């Protein structure tokens, strides 16, 4: 199975900060990487797919990038509504595997 | 508008069975693979089962293989998960998702609690 190593596990940032979360894949996954946001009591919401594509309705302050086997989710200017847990997911092969999650808190 | 609505969760004793359902609407159901994903309380996301668009093939992790069965009724646009021999570690919210490679759509989830 492909392992997705996500970091950090938690972080605290101030409103307006630039925030970056990273996932590293244990094997080549091409661009088959998605990012999800999950707020308490809610279902995961897809934010980014294909490593860099913004999902419909997602604010433009969110972006995705890739450098080799490292994939990043960046929030350019943190807003209070961005407080959530973020997960990456590889879907190039079965089983689909998730990162362990990053809990993002607002200072 | 794509909608996935799960039902069938509840409290069940260890060793017993439960069947979850997910009714899909807003897209051509028989064009898509479908997947169940679960989340134990306070934990991360775990893939549970997937089924091809025709229902001809199914996939499971070792943790549920032989105990869980995913199926679908394309005429009713409904996905199922039959869960047998339930264990305490199966306690989780179970989400129905539209696969298609990108998991774009998720249901609201249904909570399964396995406890005596």
Q: Is residue A89 very low, low, confident or very high in pLDDT (cuts 50, 70, 90)?
A: very high
Tell whether A35 is within 8 A of chain B (Cβ): no
Closest residue in chain A to residue B99, using alpha carbons only: A91
Check CB contact under 8 Å for A46 and B46: no
Average pLDDT estimate for B12-24:
98
pLDDT tens-digit map of B70-99:
999 999 999 999 999 999 999 999 999 998
Check CB contact under 8 Å for A89 and B103: yes
Check CB contact under 8 Å for B46 and A101: no
Q: Report chain A's mean pLDDT, rounded to a whole number.
A: 97
Average pLDDT estimate for B57-65:
96
CA dihedral B8, B92, A101, B24 (to 10 degrees): -10
CA distance A16 to B114: 43
Average pLDDT estimate for B5-29:
98
In the prediction, which pLDDT does B94 show? Answer: 98
pLDDT tens-digit map of A32-70:
999 999 999 999 999 999 999 999 999 999 999 999 999
Check CB contact under 8 Å for A96 and B44: no
pLDDT tens-digit map of B22-33:
999 999 999 999
Q: Which residues of A touch B44 (CB under 8 A)?
A: 87, 98-101
Supply the DSSP symbol for A51. T
In the prediction, which pLDDT does A10 show? Answer: 97
CA distance B23 to A106: 37
Q: Is the pLDDT of residue B101 over 80?
A: no
Average pLDDT estimate for B9-31:
97
In the prediction, which pLDDT does B68 show? Answer: 98
CA dihedral B5, A99, A92, B40 (to 10 degrees): -30
Closest residue in chain A to residue B4, using alpha carbons only: A43
Q: Are B16 and B77 in contact (CB under 8 A)?
A: no
CA angle A44, B11, B39 (to 5 degrees): 20
In the prediction, which pLDDT does B71 show? Answer: 98
In the prediction, which pLDDT does B99 show? Answer: 87
Interface list for chain B against chain A, based on CB atoms closer than 8 Å: 35, 44-47, 50, 59, 61, 95, 101-104, 106-109
Give every CB contact of residue A22 below 8 A, 6+ residues apart in sequence: A6, A7, A70, A71, A72, A73
Closest residue in chain B to residue A54, using alpha carbons only: B104
pLDDT tens-digit map of B43-60:
999 999 999 999 999 999
Tell whether A55 is within 8 A of chain B (Cβ): yes
DSSP β-bridge partners for residue B56: none
Check CB contact under 8 Å for A43 and B106: yes
Measure CB to CB from residue B47 to each of A49, A96, A101 and give the nearest one.
Answer: A96
Q: Which among B98, B102, B113 has a CA at the least distance from the CA of B16?
A: B113
Q: Is the pLDDT of residue B102 over 90?
A: no
């Amino acid at each position: 199975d492909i392992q997705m190593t996500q970091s950090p596990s938690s972080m605290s940032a101030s409103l307006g900060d630039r925030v970056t979360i990273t996932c590293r894949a244990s094997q080549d996954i091409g661009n088959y990487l998605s990012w999800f946001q999950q707020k308490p009591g809610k279902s995961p919401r897809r934010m980014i797919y294909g490593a860099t594509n913004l999902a419909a309705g997602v604010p433009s302050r969110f972006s995705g990038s890739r450098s080799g086997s490292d994939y990043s989710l960046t929030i350019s200017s943190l807003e209070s509504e961005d407080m959530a847990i973020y997960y990456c997911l590889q879907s190039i092969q079965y089983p689909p595997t998730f990162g362990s999650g990053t809990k993002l808190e607002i200072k | 508008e794509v909608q996935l609505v799960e039902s069938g969760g509840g409290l069940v004793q260890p060793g017993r069975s439960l069947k979850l359902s997910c009714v899909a609407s807003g897209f051509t159901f028989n064009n898509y693979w479908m997947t169940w994903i679960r989340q134990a309380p306070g934990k991360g996301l775990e893939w549970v089962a997937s089924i091809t668009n025709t229902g001809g093939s199914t996939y499971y992790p070792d943790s549920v293989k032989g105990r869980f069965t995913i199926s679908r009724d394309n005429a009713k646009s409904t996905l199922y998960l039959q869960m047998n021999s339930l264990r305490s570690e199966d306690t989780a919210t179970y989400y129905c998702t539209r696969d298609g490679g990108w998991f774009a759509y998720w249901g609201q989830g249904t909570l399964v609690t396995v406890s005596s």
